[in-house]
Amino acid sequence: MEAIVDQTAKVDPMNKVNTELSKENPEAHDLSGLETVGIPFTDTAKMSMRDVNVFYADKQAIFDVSLDIGQNEVLAMIGPSGCGKSTFLRCLNRMNDTIDICSVQGSLKLEGQDIYDPKLDVVPLRARVGMVFQKPNPFPKSIYDNVAYGPRIHGLVNRRTDLDEIVETSLQKAGLWKEVRDRLHSPGTGLSGGQQQRLCIARTIAVSPEVILMDEPCSALDPIATAKIEELIAELSENFTIAIVTHSMQQAARVSHRTAYFHLGKLVEVNETEKVFTNPDHKLTEAYITGRFG
Amino acid sequence: MTPSPKTPNTMDVVNKNLAKRYRKEKMFRFYGIASISFGLLCLLFLFTDIIGKGHSAFFQTYVKLPVVMSADALGITDVNDPHQIAGGNYQGVLKQALRERFPEVTDRRGKRALYGIVSNGAGYELRALVENNPDILNTSLDVWVLADDDIDTYVKSRSSREGAYTGRFTEQQISWIESLIESGNVEERFNTTFFTAGDSREPEQAGIRGAMMGSLFTLLVTLALSFPIGVAAAVYLEEYAKKNKFTDFIEVNINNLAAVPSIIFGLLGLAIFINFFEMPRSIPLVGGFVLTLMTLPTIIISSRAAIKAVPPSIREAAMGIGASKMQVILHHVLPLAMPGMLTGAIIGMAQALGETAPLLMIGMVAFIVDVPSGITDPSTVLPVQIFLWADSPERAFVERTSAAIMVLLGFLVVMNALAVWLRKRLERRW
Amino acid sequence: MDKLNLDQHISRQFNADLEELKTQLLEMGGLVEQQTINAVKAITTPDSDLAERVLVTEEEVDARELKLDENCTLVLARRQPAASDLRMVLSVARITRDLERMGDEAHKVAKMAIHLNEHGEAPRGYVELRHIGTIVHQMVISALDAFARFDVDLAISVAQEDKKVDQEYKSAMRELATYMMEDPRSISRVLNIIWALRALERIGDHAANIAEHVIYLVKGLDVRHQSLQEMERQVKEQ
C-alpha cells in the first residue's frame, strides 16, 4: 500500500468538522471552509491533481480538488449525484473538452506532464488515459473490430497477425476471450450487457493505456456481470492504474484501495477504503455511506 | 378486497362516467378513421381518374395499308445511296396507298381528309422499313402504319359509354374508318413511341423520353451537388460550429429556406446562372443548380437530424480510446447517420423530381423535340412536360398527360421505396 | 460524541432496526446485570431461591442471545451497513456474546450458591465475594451505560476497573489459599467460593470487553489486546 506523504492534511478533522457542522441536517452545511481530510496524496503518484476547479459557464462544478492517483492503485470516487465525481473523472483525460462551456483550472499532471498544456495533443493523452463508460457502448461493428479499432487508429500494428494477437490478449485480459473466440466476427452489440462492458474494457486496454478511468461501469449490469467486472478490476490493477466512479458504495468498498468522497463539488475525504467504510474521518462521508442522505 | 365505506361510492361514480368515457374514446377513434378514409378516398379518386384517363395512352392505333414500294414513286434512283433512301417521298407512297384503298374519293378536300387518316409521321416508319431491308423496294406489301391521333381517339372511344368521340370528323371520314375496322385493318398496339420519342406537336408521335432523360440529368446534377454539400454543411454545423448567435442565425435561415416557395429559387437561378454567368437556358445543368439550391435545406435539416440521432455514447467511446474528431466523424458518426441522410437526400430528390415552378423560370419549359444526351443539351423535365401537354388542345394529349403523370408517380414510388430499402439495409442497431 | 446519530437514515426502517438492536441489547444487559447481582446475593445472603431464579433467567438470556444474533444477521444482510452502522451491528453482536458468557458465569456463581447452601457455608471468603461482586456489578452497569450513551470515557473507566478486580481477585486467592492450608477440612467448601470468585472475575473481564467494543463502536478503534495506557493514548489521539 502507498506510503502516506502528507500527514499535514490530517488537521484533527473530527473536532474541526464537529464545530463546523450542525448535527441536524448534513445537507444544509455550509461547505465554504471545507478542507479535504484523510490522505489525498501518495508518493507513487501516477496522476496528481492540484487545486482543480471546473466551471460550466458561470456555474462552478468542482472546487479546489487536490488528489493523487497512485501507480497501480484503484481509486474509487463516491458521492451523491451531481457531486462532481464524474466531472472530475472526465477532466482526467480531457473528455470535458467536447463541452464548449466547460473550463478547467488548476494543475492536472500525468507523470509530471501537464495534461491541460495547450501544446499537448489530446489524442495520445486519451490513448494513455483510457475510459470505460456507464452504459456499455460497443461500436456497431464486430467484436474483433471493436477491439482492433484503437490499435488501428493509433497505428500500433502493421501486420494482421500482430493485430490478431493484440485482440486476443486484450480479450483475454478482459476475461472475455473464452466466451467470444468462436464468434469474433459477429456484432459486438449482440453480446449480453456484462459481456459488452467487458468488450469495452478490452477495447480500452487494447491501446495499452496507463490509466483506465471508469465511469460507473456496472450501473447498467446485473449482479453477476457486476461481480465479473469487479473481479476484472482487481486483476487489471496489477498492470493499470484505475480510477472508478461508482454509485455503489459496496462496489467501492470491494474493488478500491483508496476511496475519495465528493460532496457538492468538493473533495471531502480521501482515505484507505477500509478506513472509509468502517470509520470515516469526516461526518459527511459517514452520513453518505451510512445512508443518511444521498 | 374489504369494502371500505368509500369504495362503493367511488365505484358508482366511476361506473356512471364509464359509458361517457367509452363514447368519447369511440368518437376520438372515429375522427382518426374518418380523416384517413377521406385521404384514401381522395387518393383513390386521383388514381382512378388518372389511370382511367391515362391507361389508353399506352396503346396506339395502327392502320394496315397495302403499299406499293415503287422506287420511282419514292424518287429513288440508286438503291445503294443512303441519302436517297433517307430522302424518299414515303408520305407520297402512303397517300397513294390511301387513294387506292378508297378510290371513291376524288375531290381535293376529300383527299386531304383521307390523308389525315395516317399520322404525318407514318412515312418515317416506311423509311425505317426500307432502310432495314432495301429489298422490299419495288414490291407491294401490307404495312401497319401509325394512325392519326384523331383516328386513335375515335377508335379508342368507340366502345365507351358516351359513344365515339367524333370531333371534327365528317360522316365520310367516319365511314372510311368504319370500313377499315370492318376489314380488320385497324389494330391497337403497345405504344412504344410514348417511351422512345421526344416531344412532338402530333400526339401520336409524342413521347416522354426527352422529358425522362431531362429529369434524369437534372436529378444527377442535383444529387451530385446537393448531397455532398448538404452533408458537409450538416457535419460542420453539428460537429464543429460553436453554438453562438451566428450559427443560430444560420440555422434559422436554413429552416426558413426550406419553406421558401420554389419559384423564388427559380428567379434566383435565372438571376445568377443565366443572367450573371450567362449560361444557356433550358439545360439540365442549370436546372440541377436551381434544384440543388432548393433541396439543400431539406438535405441539411435531415442530415443534421440524422447526425444528432447518433448516440453520444458511441462518440464518447471513440474519443475515449483516442480517436481524433475527424476519425470519430468518419468512422462512427457518418456511417451511423448515413441511412437517415440518404433518406433525406432521396426525399429531397423526389421533391426535386416533381418540381416545376423554378424550372419554368430558367426556360426548361421550351418545346424540345430532341432527346437530350447530356447535361448541356436543352431539355425539359417530366413535370414540365405534363404541364405542357395539359396545356395542349389536342384531345389525344389528355390521355398522354395522365400517362406521363403515372410515369412520374411511378418514379416517385420507386424513389421512396429505394429510401425505405436503403434505410432498412444500412440501419444498424446499437 | 455526536458522531453516532443512528436515527437519521433515509430509511426509517433502518433507524428502527438499529434502535431495536440497541434496545434488545440493553434489555439483555439488564437481565445479565440482574443475574450478576442476584448470584452474588444468593451466596452472601444465602438464598437458594434467588439462585434458582438466576438459573431460570439464564435460559431467557440464551434465548435473547439467539434473537439478537438473528437480528444482527438480518441487518447485515438487508442493509449492508457501513461505517458507524457497521460498527454498531458488529459491536452489538460482540457485546451479545460477552453478555451471554457473563450470564454463564453468573449461572456458575448461582450453582455455587446452591452448592454452598446444600453442603454448608464456607468459613471464609464472603467479604471478598461481596466486595468483588459489587465492583463487578458496577462494571457491568457502567459498561452498559457506556454503550447506551456511547460514552468512551466511561468505557475507559470500566477497563481501568477491571485491573482493580484482577488485583482484588489475586489477593483474595492468596488469602483463601492460606486459609485452606490452615484448615484442610474446609477446602471443598472454600473451593466453591473460589469458583464463584473466579466466575466474578471473568464477568469483570467480559465487562471490560464490552467497554472495548464500545470504544470500537464510538471511535472506530480496535483496542483489544492492548495495555490500558496504549488504549488511553489511542483514544485521546483520535
What are the sequence ranges of the domains in chain B?
A: 56-191, 209-426
- Do the domain assignments include residue A121? yes
Locus of grid cell 423560370: B361
* Chain C touched by A22 (CB under 8 Å): no
Helix residue ranges per DSSP H, A96-222 = 122-128, 143-154, 160-173, 177-180, 193-205
Q: What is the pLDDT of residues C128-165, one digit of tens each?
A: 899 999 999 999 999 999 999 999 999 999 999 999 99
Domains contained in chain C, CATH given? 12-237 (1.20.58.220)
Q: Name the residue facing C3 among A250, A276, A286 (closest C-beta).
A: A286
**Reported confidence tier of residue B179, pLDDT bands at 50, 70, 90:** confident
Predicted confidence (pLDDT) at residue A2 exceeds the cutoff of 50: no
Q: What's the whole-number average pLDDT of chain A? A: 84
**Where residue A40 sits, what CATH number does that domain have?**
3.40.50.300
CATH topology of domain B209-426: MetI-like fold (1.10.3720)
* Chain A touched by C77 (CB under 8 Å): no
What are A13's three cell numbers? 478533522
Q: Name the residue facing A139 among B243, B314, B319 (closest C-beta).
A: B314
Q: What's the whole-number average pLDDT of chain B? A: 86
- Do the domain assignments include residue A20? no
Strand (E) positions, B69-171? 140-146
> What's the mean pLDDT in A70-99?
89
- Do the domain assignments include residue A6? no
User: Which of C2, C3, C11, C237 is the best mutation test for A, with the most CBs of A within 10 A?
Assistant: C3
End-to-end CA distance of chain B: 46
Q: Do C3 and A292 touch (CB under 8 A)?
A: no
Report d(CA B308, CA B324) in Å as an integer.
Answer: 19
What are B185's three cell numbers? 385493318
**Reported confidence tier of residue C6, pLDDT bands at 50, 70, 90:** low
- Do the domain assignments include residue A261? yes
Predicted confidence (pLDDT) at residue A222 exceeds the cutoff of 60: yes
Report d(CA C53, CA C42) in Å as an integer.
Answer: 10
Report d(CA B403, CA B195) in Å as an integer.
Answer: 11
Q: Name the residue facing B321 among A98, A189, A203 (closest C-beta).
A: A203
Q: Name the residue facing A131 among B243, B320, B428 (closest C-beta).
A: B320
Q: So what's the ipTM on this one?
A: 0.78
Q: Do B317 and A127 touch (CB under 8 A)?
A: no
Expressed as residue numbers, the domain containing A126 is 34-289
By three-state DSSP, how is residue B189 classified? strand
Touch between chain B and chain C: 3 or more Cβ pairs under 8 Å: no
Q: Lowest mean pLDDT: which of A39-48, B271-280, C62-71, C114-123?
A: C114-123
> What's the mean pLDDT in C204-222?
92
Considering only CB atoms, which chain A residues are within 8 Å of B428? 140, 189
- Do the domain assignments include residue A148? yes
Report d(CA B380, CA B218) in Å as an integer.
Answer: 9
Strand (E) positions, B116-232? 140-146, 186-190
* Chain B touched by A219 (CB under 8 Å): no
Predicted confidence (pLDDT) at residue C2 exceeds the cutoff of 50: no
Predicted confidence (pLDDT) at residue A7 exceeds the cutoff of 50: no
Domains held by chain A: number: 1
Query: Chain C closest CA to A37's CA: distance in Å?
Result: 14
Phi, psi of B417 (to 5 degrees): -65, -40
The pLDDT, as a whole number, for residue A5 is 40
Q: Do A290 and C9 touch (CB under 8 A)?
A: yes
- Do the domain assignments include residue A260? yes
* Chain A touched by C3 (CB under 8 Å): yes
**Reported confidence tier of residue B5, pLDDT bands at 50, 70, 90:** low
Predicted confidence (pLDDT) at residue A11 exceeds the cutoff of 80: no
Structure-model confidence comparison of residues A168 and B133, the more confident one: A168
Q: Do the beta carbons of residue C192 and residue C115 sit within 8 Å?
A: yes
- Do the domain assignments include residue A10? no
